[in-house]
Chain A
Amino acid sequence: MDRRELLKMVAAATGGVVIGGEFFLAGCKNPDAGVGTSATFTESDIAFLDEVAETIFPKTNTPGAKEAKVGQFMTVMVKDCYTEDNQKAFHEGQAAINAACKKMHGHDFMKATPEHKKAVLVSLEPEVKDYLAKRKEFIKEQDDLEKKAQANGDTNFEKKTMPDHYFTMMKQLTILGYFTSKEGRTGATRYEPVPGKYIGDLDYKKGDKIFTSLN
């Protein structure tokens, strides 16, 4: 097998890597689910997702997520790679973020200042944390049920799924989209498409950027 994939596998199996590890994200965690149909995105959805992404990864002295066209990327991934229940959860995220913004600032997310946008997304954190804990428990329960079914010789058992939280998906897609974009790689990392050599002992000081490649 391919070594790079092997190392990813090791990292993923041990929880070392969340994204970009055992090949990507929610869409791939449930290989048996059918292709979804609920995903259609409008230009204004893309603009909204661009704002969320830019809030997660804003432009500084390096490019921001909007410049890396992360909003557009998110729609492609959700449409083609996500299971139907995750697509649905992702779509509902826009309304949920707008509701949170209204509650906090009295208007939609798109109208908020960058500072206010950040405050809205930060305010989602406790809810996301709770949700993740519940989901973890749910998955464990389903795994246990599956084991029991297997032990009893029940071959008809089908695991139930619980979608990922919309904000987890948006954040993961922002990070993935940014670091696999031309703008992100060439603008924010040390991009080396043809290293030509391997140095296994290189001095490093805080602030030095990661190396990235074609892959």
Chain B
Amino acid sequence: MADNNTFDAIVVGSGISGGWAAKELTERGLNTIMLERGFDIKHGKDYEASNKPVWEYPHRGGKTQKMIEDYPHLKRDYPLNERNLHYWASDKDNPYTETKRFDWFRGYHVGGRSLMWGRQSYRWSETDFEANAKDGHGTDWPIRYKDIEPWYTHVEKFAGIQGSYENLPLLPDSHFLPAMDLNIVEKDVAAKIKAHYNNKRTLIIGRTAHITGPLGHSPQRTNCQYRDMCWNGCPFGAYFSTQSSTLPAAMATGKLTLGINSIVKEIIYDKETRKAKGVRVIDAETMQTKEYFSKIVFLCASAFNSAWVLMNSATDIWPDGLGSSSGELGHNAMDHHFRVGASGEVEGYDNKYYFGNRPTGFYIPRFRNFGDDKRDYVRGFGYQGGASRNGWGREVKELSVGAELKDALCEPGGWRIGSTAFGEMLPYHENKISLSKTVKDKWGLPVLDMDVEIKDNERKMRVDMKEDMKEMLEVAGVKNVNAFESDYAPGMGIHEMGTARMGRDPKNSVLNGNNQVWDCKNVFVTDGACMASTACVNPSLTYMALTARAAAFAVDELKKMNV
């Protein structure tokens, strides 16, 4: 057994990637400590809001002026709310500076954002991995689809992904649990789009990490109950999170230690061996410094925080930090750009309704810049949306006050369908995060400064993102179609990526094809930081697969005494 500060492996972070690293490393026999900077949240027991009805909240789930004051960044979008506010990192305790506006929404607790994530889960395609090499933006991915494919299968079988088998060229099928249903209006629109575009555009059920059937290895998890209360934490364990899935598996090995309130401030680098010896940690509550030692370190602290740890490490050798010799550490920051699309009214289904709160909508996979299609920009976008009947919040123009108004709002209104695109953002060297020279947090640690923006390629793409949805809805017979574009700032997608990218050459990338830091082979970075491009699909499933793949590689290398 490990003594109290020496382990085989250290995992930094306990979110989607950290949880996977802990599971895979412990199951492969390594004594592992998982270090989480925040507090503990126990599965079920600590999901205070998971069974709480809306009327028990004084502001019915909304936000107060006090909350708006206290959360200058979080207030910019939906995360500022009364239900799960304690799952979002405090802006006051965890400041950052903005050369350009960046919305950074973080989860500093056990499970990280695996508790609040959108749960959308999609494989990348060969086209995505080839994109950088083909159009010359960014640097070539060191891996291809065939390298990651077995690992997608590996993580899908464990996490549980519901979806439909479609055999599409740009969106490979996962290993699926039974798919949730599209509703009758979505099915109708899907059929009309398919016919009009001659099978080149498809509308399918949004693939998510919810279980819809038994998972033999995880009997503690129960099928989705269609309450749509996911982001409070699911007491049924119906969606994948660290708490519901990877943490119990890692704990079952007897080889995992969980360290909470442990802010990893740097990796301890040994000049002699040119390897990491461990990490230096500040206790978030006592402010005391502590060291942990290990043979390997997995950095899974979230894209920007993993880069931050590297920037603070081995600065006596590399002034800009461990992994900075390429000049790319902290650069190529990316997100998915969105909040642009269209919606409209659907006629002819007044005799139809639906039952249950489905925790996903529909998905329209990318169709631009593929096959014969050529646009004035590169890459593409997919759509996420849904059809539903208006509820009590709708406007009833002809009724002002009284029993008739109340009765009308107690019945569903007309059907609407709407959708927003999620677009790929290119890696630009000048889109960067760096350590602030002036601002420190309450632990005396330098905060990050954000300098990220979308550019011409994204702006051109947004025109199609808007117009294509409008056209598809009109083709499907949707009435009063209204295209919209609301403000988007990088970070709002909560898909930060790219700040320690993988590559083929230590001169222009931070990590090699196995997620090892080129300059320090026993440090692995497997969260969003490692991404050399973003594709247009939600990234978490790919972080899971890359983490599992890197963990297997790391254990093999340890056995061969290579790291």
Contacts and interface: CB of A to CB of B under 8 A. Distances in A.
Interface string B52-86: 11110011111111101100000111100100000
A10 B391 CA distance: 14
A151 interface: no
25 contacts: A1-B494, A3-B360, A5-B78, A9-B339, A10-B343, A10-B385, A14-B484, A15-B482, A18-B393, A24-B60, A27-B63, A58-B406, A62-B406, A81-B62, A175-B392, A181-B55, A188-B406, A193-B53, A195-B357, A198-B354, A200-B358, A203-B353, A206-B350, A210-B410, A215-B61
A181 B360 CA distance: 26
Interface string B406-444: 110111100010111000000000000000000000000
B405 A57 contact: yes
B402 A118 contact: yes
- List 8 A-B pairs, minimum CB-CB distance, nearest first: A200-B183, A20-B393, A10-B418, A195-B356, A198-B356, A204-B353, A5-B78, A200-B181
Contacts of A208: 353, 411-412
A3 B361 contact: yes
Given A24-B60, A77-B59, A201-B183, A31 B391 contact: no
A199 B343 CA distance: 23
Interface in B132-190: 180-184, 186-187
A182 interface: yes
A47 interface: no
Nearest to A64: B406
Contact of A197 (B355, B394, B407): B355
B356 A196 contact: yes
B228 A81 contact: no
A44 to B, nearest CB: 22
B258 interface: no
B293 interface: no
Interface string A46-65: 00000000011110101000
Given A1-B493, A3-B386, A197 B226 contact: yes
Interface string B454-492: 000000000000000000000000000010101000001
A209 B411 contact: yes
Contacts of A197: 226, 355-356
Given A3-B386, A16-B416, A195-B225, A182 B392 contact: no
Interface string A4-20: 11111111011111111
Contacts of A192: 355-356
Contacts of A207: 411
Interface of B: 51-55, 58-66, 68-69, 75-78, 81, 116, 118, 120, 180-184, 186-187, 206, 225-231, 339, 341, 343, 350-361, 384-386, 388-395, 400-403, 405-407, 409-412, 416, 418-420, 482, 484, 486, 492-494
Q: Interface on chain B toward A: helix, strand, loop, or mixed SS?
A: loop
Contacts of A66: none
Given A3-B361, A118-B401, 16 more contacts: A1-B492, A4-B228, A13-B486, A14-B484, A27-B63, A35-B65, A35-B69, A36-B65, A58-B406, A125-B400, A189-B410, A194-B227, A198-B354, A199-B356, A200-B183, A214-B227
Contacts of A153: none
A86 to B, nearest CB: 10
A114 B254 CA distance: 69
B78 A58 contact: no
A2 B53 CA distance: 19
B63 to A, nearest CB: 6
B383 to A, nearest CB: 11
Contacts of B409: 175, 179
A171 B393 CA distance: 11
Nearest to B231: A2
B65 A10 contact: no
Contact of B420 (A9, A81, A202): A9
A210 B227 contact: no
A7 B387 CA distance: 9
Contacts of B484: 10, 13-14
Given A198-B356, A213-B357, A121 B400 contact: yes
Contacts of A6: 118, 361, 384-385, 420
A180 interface: yes
B505 to A, nearest CB: 35
A19 B395 CA distance: 8
A80 interface: yes
A34 B351 contact: no
Contacts of B186: 200
A122 interface: yes
A204 B352 contact: yes
A80 B64 contact: yes
A14 B448 CA distance: 35
A145 interface: no
A8 to B, nearest CB: 8
Contact of A14 (B343, B356, B411): B343
Contact of B402 (A13, A24, A56, A196): A56
B529 to A, nearest CB: 20
Given A3-B118, A181-B55, A195-B356, A28 B361 contact: no
A12 B43 CA distance: 34
Contacts of B385: 6-7, 10
Contacts of B394: 16-18
Contacts of A3: 118, 120, 206, 359-361, 384, 386
Given A3-B384, A10-B343, A58-B406, A80 B356 contact: no
A121 B402 CA distance: 10
A197 to B, nearest CB: 6
A73 to B, nearest CB: 8
A161 to B, nearest CB: 14
A160 interface: no
B78 A17 contact: no
B500 to A, nearest CB: 24
A210 B412 contact: yes
Given A82-B65, A201-B184, A180 B55 contact: yes
Given A58-B402, A211-B355, A81 B386 contact: no
B472 to A, nearest CB: 14
A73 B400 CA distance: 21
A23 B53 contact: no
A13 B469 CA distance: 15
Nearest to A19: B393
A163 interface: no
A179 B400 contact: no
B478 to A, nearest CB: 12
A127 B558 CA distance: 77
Nearest to B62: A24
Given A125-B400, A194-B225, A11 B65 contact: no
A214 B401 contact: no
B65 A83 contact: yes
B480 to A, nearest CB: 9
A3 B206 CA distance: 10
Nearest to B105: A1
